[in-house]
Structure 1
Amino acid sequence: MKLVKGFINRIRTSDYTKSLLVLTGGTFIAQLIPIIFYPIIGRLFTPDQIGTAAIFSQIAAILAILVTGGYTYSIFISKSKEEAFNIIVLVLSLSIFVLSIICLTFYFLRDEIHLLLNEPLFVKLFFIPILIALFIVIYQCYNEWCVKNKYFKQLSVNKLVNSSSLSIAETLFGCMNSLVLGNGKVYGELIGRGISAFSCLFSMFVKDRNLYKIVSLSVVKECLIKYIRFPKYVMTGKLINSVSCAIPLFYLGAVFTKEELGFFSMSNTIIAVPISIITIAVSDAYRQRANEDYNNYGSCRNILVKTIVPISIISLVGFSILFIISPFLFEIILGSQWINAGIYTRYLIPMVAISFVTEVIRPTLIIASKQSYDFIWQLLFLFSMLLLIVISNLYRDIYVFLLFFSGIKSLLFLLQFYWCYRYSVK
């Protein structure tokens, strides 16, 4: 009882602890909201509509990384609030400029891109991924701004608004899917992201309304040069990862049907989001303890082993059960049209089960200052996805594709696991 009372008193007296709990709770609820809406989304949209939306989303995700030059990640480490805001001006200016050029490029090459991706809707809606990318950039900038200034409450609200606006907008447009041009889910993401971005800008104006007075062209130029390592190194790694994730989606959309792409996309989403809730929480706890042990004793292997043993048992038992019930689970939760997504999940389970364990201990490479290995892993990921396309193209069978996709990524996650274990000791 004394321990409980002491913990409660610490929460009451510590603003930081209160803020941290608010942020953690907000993040958890924000990740939970899409899960609640999955049964509705699954019944409002067909697999081929989900597949089309996945292509638009992936294009936007790549653009959102490319157009910022990676400068978004320098907001947090900037030396002052004034410099941080000037970096935001730099990021938004750079993004709008580059996205304008990309918009013109997409306009003139929209027919060629449509043929490449086998996506007719791109011809008419080529501008949507560009707008979504801009909204994502605004959201990310505001997130970094809140972390920089310890606006934990605003950060938590921002995550909730982003998650709920996406889910609600997609649901509303799903209800009137036949009334909109093309695909209600694509429009739903556009409006949802737009609401989130507007909320970020409004919150920043209310909280720091006089910030525009500190904008300086000379400071913006200084930041452009000062943080040039971010486009060189940070953006490169993030871009490689995003392109690597996009390759299987683009390949499925171009070679197979949009329905098969939709099954694959939904399968990935359904098993990834709930798992991330667990891995983020456990990884944060592991990272804190592992960092202390590594700095104090030169090794974090003890806590690494203590962490992976129970996580591995949970992974083995949980995913074995999911392997058996996944087709029935998808049918119950999403509807009968999604049974094939449950079958696809069976092929992906070995990969997800291994990544479930590996993601928890992944911070070990950062703690041990082995970030270069993470970059090497990203390159291997890219080359392996290109190899996957070559192999899959020989068979043109969706289940062969799933088998090789899961197998190759499983090997990559095992390699990452080995590196984490090896470098957990100085």
Structure 2
Amino acid sequence: MRFYNTKSLYFYVGSGLAQVVTIITTFYIIKKFTPTAFGQFSYYFSIGSIIGSFATLKYELSIPLSKDSQETNDKSNLTILVSLLFNMIFSLIGLCTPLYDFNIYFLYILLLSNTVSINACFQQFLLYKEEHFLNGLNPLLFSIINLLILLFLTKNNGEVILSSYVISNIILFLIYVISVYKKGYNISFKKISFYKDLFIKHIDFPKYVLPSSIANILLAYCNPIFIGYLFDKNNVGLFSFSLRILMLPSIVIGSVASSIYRAQIAKLYFDNDYESIKAQTKKLFLILTLLTIFCFPILILVIKYIPQFIDMNKWIGILPISIFLIPYSISQLFFQPFSNLALVFKQNKILLSQNILQLVVTVLAYFAAFIFKIEFSLFVIILSISLFVVSFYSCYKFYQILKIQK
């Protein structure tokens, strides 16, 4: 398997087209909604996505790291069971705390968290099966459905954007169910004792990989929550929109290359072919470097010239915030793919330590903003540069895992 063969090309093209539709959707949101409305959507979307990400206990990442199809199927069923159980637990915890009330937003969060976690499981199942066409097609269908729903909803508030995403996730879930069933997924479950043993056998994932994911989840979803608390919903909108554009290289190519790379080196790992893993790692680094050089200047130019086509009077300040977030975006482009080395080589303690380092740096940035009353622009600069430095140190540590292999 290569990063750019015919099969993987479907994955890249599908993800790319999905992001084209997402950009169109973003322009529509800018035209119709205010930064405050987008900030309200980002807040509740972040809560549901965080719960959905935690609910699997990261067992979905074990699915592509399987020796055969039967093990893949068993791990998928385990992930779904764990997800349903912990989504229920997190929902009860949320209702018993000030996190959210029992209202329409609770329903949105519940539906979003469940579909996010189970869809992630099915995506990893298809990744092991090398069904790159489906893994490219499904996000494209999701983005198209989301845009169509937004076009038919008339209200102008954050709930409209949130409801559109929830409905789209439910439809995507149904599409995934049909897809994995046709590709050999066995929906019948075994005895609970079997999954208990399987849970214990792969306990490293909730023990190390789940805590390791805290920083990534924080970076991806908690920023809107914390920025909304320290600053205001308008800055949440500016921050979220900037990242939506700047994270396109990570989503379109970086995440696809990372997924293929993880499945690929896992199979090479079982074959003890470390030289091939080194070769593929160097190719990955080259791809990400070229993305950095060419994509980010183009994206900044896109943001700069958007006002010539769309009224951006409500979004004043978007260009400088986007420029400040470039180091942040580059850090995420490199960190996640290279962290696969620790995952595949079962060096989960290193993965945990590096994610804790990112978490500490992020918390310190917010703590400094809170204590010293730092203005929003300066806070973004501090957060962005700090994570850039830490992420590349982490990538160096991950590569050292590969160098010491015999």
Q: SS at 2:57's partner residue?
A: coil
User: Contact conserved, 2:118 with 2:173, CA < 8 A, in 1?
Assistant: yes
Q: Answer yes or no: is 1:169 the counterpart of 2:154.
A: no
Aligned to 2:368: 391
Structure 1 residue 78, shift from structure 2 partner: 4.2
SS in 2 for 1:76: coil
Match of 2:18 in 1: 30
Superposed displacement of residue 395, structure 1 = 1.6
Q: Does 2:106 correspond to 1:126?
A: yes
Query: Tell me, what secondary structure is at the counterpart of 1:199?
Result: helix
Pairing partner for 2:201 from 226, 232, 242 = 226
> How far 1:196 moved relative to its partner?
0.4
Q: Is the contact between residue 95 and residue 134 of structure 1 (CA under 8 Å) also seen in structure 2?
A: yes
Query: 2 CA distance for matches of 1:333 and 1:168?
Result: 21
Q: Which one of 263, 272, 286 corresponds to residue 307 of structure 1?
A: 286
Looking at structure 1, the residues matched to 90 and 281 of structure 2 have their Cα atoms a distance apart, in angstroms, of 50
Give the superposition deviation at 1:188. 0.8
Q: In the superposition, relative to structure 1, how do residues 357 and 143 fare at CA in structure 2: closer, same or farther (>3 Å)? A: closer
Give the Å deviation of 1:159: 3.1
Q: Are the counterparts in 2 of residues 315 and 357 from structure 1 also a CA contact under 8 Å? A: no
* TM-score, structure 2 normalization: 0.80
Structure 2 partner of 1:202: 178
Q: Does 1:149 align with 2:126?
A: no
Please name the residue that 1:159 is paired with.
139
Q: Which amino acid aligns with 1:41?
A: I
Partner of 1:400: 378
Correspondence list, 1:24-423, <5 A: 24-109=12-97, 112-113=98-99, 124-173=104-153, 176-178=154-156, 183-206=159-182, 208=184, 211-213=186-188, 215-274=190-249, 276-279=251-254, 295-296=274-275, 303=282, 307=286, 311=289, 315=292, 319=296, 325=301, 328-332=304-308, 335-336=311-312, 337-353=314-330, 372-393=349-370, 394-416=372-394, 418-419=396-397
Are 1:326 and 1:345, in contact at CA under 8 Å, matched by a contact in 2? no
List per-residue Cα deviations over 1:303-341 (Å, max 9, x = no partner).
Answer: 579938x937x7467656766x56633424653122322
User: Please, what TM-score do these two structures have when normalized by structure 1?
Assistant: 0.76
SS at match of 1:138: helix
* CA-atom RMSD in angstroms: 4.0
| Preserved CA contact (<8 Å) 1:248 1:389 | no
Question: Structure 1 residue 207: deviation in Å?
Answer: 5.1
Q: Offset at 1:63?
A: 1.0
Shift of 1:197: 0.6
Confirm or deny: 8 A CA contact 2:126 2:180 kept in the other structure. Answer: no
Unaligned 5+ runs, structure 1: 1-15, 115-120
Evaluate the alpha carbon distance shift between residue 228 and residue 333 of structure 1 in structure 2; reply closer, same or farther with a 3 A threshold: farther
Q: How many residues align?
A: 393
Structure 1 counterpart of 2:376, one-letter code? I
Q: Report how far residue 202 of structure 1 moved.
A: 3.0
Q: Which moved more, 1:220-229 or 1:355-364?
A: 355-364
* Helix, strand or coil at the partner of 2:56: coil
Q: Structure 1 residue 52: deviation in Å?
A: 1.5
Alpha-carbon distance, 1:73 to partner: 2.2
Deviation at 1:134, TM superposition (A): 0.5
What percent identity do the matched residue pairs reach? 20
Q: Which runs of 5+ in 2 are unaligned?
A: none
Report how far residue 345 of structure 1 moved.
0.8
Q: 1:390 to 1:156 in 2, by over 3 A?
A: closer
The DSSP-based 3-state class of the residue aligned with 1:126 is helix
Q: Which amino acid aligns with 1:262?
A: G
User: 1: CA distance between counterparts of 2:399 and 2:179?
Assistant: 43
The structure in which a higher percent of residues are helix is 1
CA distance in 1 between counterparts of 2:71 and 2:84 reads 20
The aligned amino acid for 2:391 is: F
Aligned-pair distance for 1:299? 7.1
> Partners in 1 of 2:72 and 2:233 — Cα distance?
42
Does the 8 A contact of 1:72 with 1:87 survive in 2?
yes
**1:22-43 Cα distance to aligned partner (Å, 9 max, x none):** 3343333333331233222221
